[in-house]
A and B are shown apart, each in its own frame.
Chain A
Amino acid sequence: MSLWEFFQGRYDDLLQAGFDHIWLVGLSVFLCTVIGVGLGVATYRTNRPREIVLAITSAFLTVPSFALFVLLIPPLGIGAPPVILALTMYGLLPVVRNTITGLREVDPSIVESAQGMGLSRTQRLTRIELPLAWPVIVTGVRVSALILVGIATIGAIVDGPGYGEFIFNGLARVGSPVAVNLVLAGMIGVIVVAIIFDVLFAVIAKLTTSRGIR
């Protein structure tokens, strides 16, 4: 059976896995963004907490994903929940780091003139600092999304949804003719999802960044 015939035969399964992969990564990226931007905003002005947050989120990335998925089975069971939690942990670092970098790179004289005009601390953050840091933050979210699209495939070992299932099925049948097709289909699917996310974030970045700082 050629790869093309395989695609035609498993069309429905492949499409379903694609949707699963996208919502899984999408939800995790959303959580990363909310938590990561929050942590960045809370710590960018203080040295010690900032270093601690960056150290912890970096440490998450060094945990082997296999191990983490398996460790999360006792508290969360199998399926999507342990995968979403693990992905959120892996995706935090780029978002937190870029939020902190973006906010710290805002020209201090702009913030001072805002302060001098009577914008409160919150107004300065929401109207001046975050909009100016936004392009850097979006880049962090985009990087995070691409990392998670790849790691999400490994979630299949705890029965997580997405293209990982195809790849693990292929691995389980090494030697049989369908094995290569399964792995290739999973891989191509992952690449397509990655491209979709990349284009999506490029469009979001363009639409949400002021013309004045593009």
Chain B
Amino acid sequence: MTEVARNADIAADAPVAAAIPPRATARRRSAKPMIDRYRWWEVVGLYAGIALFLIFVLSPFIEGFLVSLKPLSQLFSSPYSFWPKNGSFQAYFDMWRSVPALGIHIFNSLFISSVVTLIVIAIVVPAAYAFARFEFSGSGLLLGAFLAVNMFSGAVLLIPLFRLMRSLGFLNTYWAMIVPGAAFLIPSSIWLLRTYLMRIPRELDEAAWADGASRLYTLRRVILPLAAPGIVVVAIMTFIGAYAQQFIFALTFNSKTEFMPLPIGLFGFFGRQEVLWNELMAASFVGILPVMIVIVFLQRYLVAGLTAGAVKQ
């Protein structure tokens, strides 16, 4: 696990190196160790490979964005043309009329993700602390059991979850999307925060104990302030996870337009006979915007968070 922590540090340091002004970089490059120097054809090969790779990863976004700029008449014409002719942002204005509830859907998506994040953080902080600090018989097994939850998708448990939501009276409310959504985000958040908490020296707990502080006081006044950056990372990751995964529970447990999150709102739009593709893509980009903002401003935390989150064991 310390390995991962180290990678996370390396990844987090990378942007700092990139931020060095050009002249300094030039000097740095000449000071680059011989082992990292490439021949010109190696550099060409690397960039070509990366270009190919990124084209695969980004082409849907590029195409989606260009489609959002094209007028419908150009979209539905042959032969296909990649670049928009007299493109405009008209679709970004028209979509609010075609999907009257669009604003509500966007709000719902953000609202559901926020509540999920609050629930997950409230549950995960004490649990991660317990796993990071206390060794008791069965703690390893319990942690394993939590991680095993990750292996089951909500889709498999849909029938009993549906019945559970019905008997709790949650169907067609926000809770039907929030409660199951949070459950499947708890395990990896525990893992991520535990990793972070293990890096806080144990001596601090012991010093507080020696000074007569209670365990709860130690958690609240010593550990939580130190863990704040870690908790922020976990909160961001949970929010992104909750935002990205809104589909199956919302599709199955809710049929009221006023509670639908964006993906489901747009899915109805997508299924129609005559799809207004330019407006659908425009609405999709508005939906992606919050995540893009997070990526741009918090990417250094994100790399660390995603990596540690992926390394389940």
A and B co-occur in one complex: no
Chain B interface residues toward A at CB < 8 A: none
